[in-house]
């Protein structure tokens, strides 16, 4: 091993972490027989540990953990369903879910924040468009043909963006029309339209109420028979510009 290679590995080798990494095998052998190299390594590791300790000393805000756990309570899907699928456990799970779903349908109070969070989560990950259409009128006709919310009003600012298409969603048995917009400048912007009866606590009136759901910024309002959520992922563009 030449000196250059030795210096390179000396810069990145971490005792205890990289010992089983094959690329360091020869270096470790050399190290064992070279006290000067060991001193250099010790010096470097001490510096690394000092920097790491400083970076680790910066703690998250005291309420972050509570916020994360609180977010979880509004997410419907189970996170710990890891075990390999076995017919017995799956069957049992299905029965339990059926019972739970019935029980929840009888007792669970759905809220507008739950709806808003579910919609934000949907667009935060990849999803297919049910209709690719760059024309707002044509898209509206598609929704109408499917008997989905279709007599909505798109805010004036949003009409200046190019529409990509739409999705037909359902939440708690309610039909949700999703219009997807995108520009290079603003990134993705979405408009959700649902019957104003979706929950009992929908925003009252046409004044948008701003709220965050993860990285998604939302503005919600009610107008006519529908409740709307306008959502954007670009924090640098004020959401008010879409109205």
Partner 1 sequence: MNSDPSPSFEDIVEQYYRGLFQFALSLTGAEAEACDLTQQTFFIWAKKGAQLREASKVKSWLFTTLHREFLQVRRRQTRFPHVEIESVAAEIPALASTVINALDGATVLATLQQVDELFQAPLALFYLEDLPYKDIAEVLGVPVGTVQSRIARGKVQLAGLLQTKEANRG
Least Å distance, CB 99 to partner 1, is 20
Q: Smallest distance, Å, CB 154 to partner 1?
A: 25
At its nearest, how many Å lie between partner 1 and the CB of residue 79?
5
Contact 177/139 with Cβ under 8 angstroms? no
Least Cβ distance, residue 125 to partner 1 (angstroms): 6
> In which region does residue 208 sit, left (phi positive, over 0), alpha (psi from -120 to 50) or beta (all else)?
beta
Residue 46 or 144: the one with the smaller Cβ distance to partner 1 is 46
Q: Which long-range contacts (CB under 8 A, 24 or more apart) does 166-174 make?
A: 166/129, 166/130, 166/131, 166/133, 166/139, 166/142, 167/127, 167/128, 167/129, 167/130, 167/131, 168/130, 168/143, 169/119, 169/122, 171/115, 171/118, 171/119, 171/198, 172/110, 172/115, 172/198, 174/198
Q: Which of 217, 161, 165, 171 is nearest to 194 (CA)?
A: 171
Instruction: Supply the minimum distance, in Å, between the C-beta of residue 46 and partner 1.
Output: 5
**Among residues 2 and 162, whose Cβ is nearest to partner 1?**
2
Q: Given the complex with partner 1, which of 12 and 129 has the nearer CB atom? A: 12
Nearer to partner 1 by Cβ, of 137 and 185: the residue is: 185
Task: Provide, rounded to whole angstroms, the least separation between the CB of residue 76 and partner 1.
Answer: 9
Going by the DSSP 8-state scheme, the letter that residue 200 receives in this structure is: T
Report the run of H or E that residue 194 belongs to, with start and end. Answer: strand 187-195
23 versus 141: smaller Cβ distance to partner 1: 23
Of 154 and 189, which CB lies nearer to partner 1 in the complex structure? 189
Interface residue list for partner 1 (CB under 8 A): 4, 7-8, 10-12, 14, 17-18, 21, 23, 46-52, 54-61, 64-65, 67-69, 71-72, 75, 77-84, 121, 124-125, 187, 212, 214-215, 233, 235
């Amino acid at each position: 091993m030449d000196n250059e290679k030795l210096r390179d590995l000396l810069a990145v080798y971490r005792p205890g972490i990289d010992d089983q990494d094959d690329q360091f095998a020869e270096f470790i052998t050399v190290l064992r027989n070279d006290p000067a190299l060991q001193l250099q390594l010790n010096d470097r590791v001490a510096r690394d540990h000092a920097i790491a300790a400083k970076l680790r000393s910066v703690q998250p805000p005291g309420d972050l953990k509570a916020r994360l756990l609180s977010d979880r309570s509004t997410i419907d899907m189970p996170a710990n369903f890891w075990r390999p699928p076995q017919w017995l456990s799956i069957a049992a799970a299905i029965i339990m879910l059926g019972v739970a779903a019935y029980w929840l349908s009888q007792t669970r109070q759905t809220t507008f924040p739950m709806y808003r969070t579910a919609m934000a989560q949907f667009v935060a990950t990849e999803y297919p468009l049910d209709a690719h259409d760059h024309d707002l009128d044509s898209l509206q006709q598609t929704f109408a043909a499917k008997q989905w919310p279709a007599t909505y009003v798109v805010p004036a600012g949003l009409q200046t963006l190019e529409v990509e298409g739409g999705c037909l969603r359902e939440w708690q048995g309610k039909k949700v029309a999703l219009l997807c917009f995108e520009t290079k400048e603003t990134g993705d912007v979405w408009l959700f339209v649902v019957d104003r009866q979706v929950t009992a606590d929908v925003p009252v009136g046409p004044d948008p109420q701003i709220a965050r759901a993860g990285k998604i910024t939302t503005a919600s309002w009610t107008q006519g028979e529908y409740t709307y959520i306008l959502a954007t992922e670009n924090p640098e563009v004020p959401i008010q510009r879409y109205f």
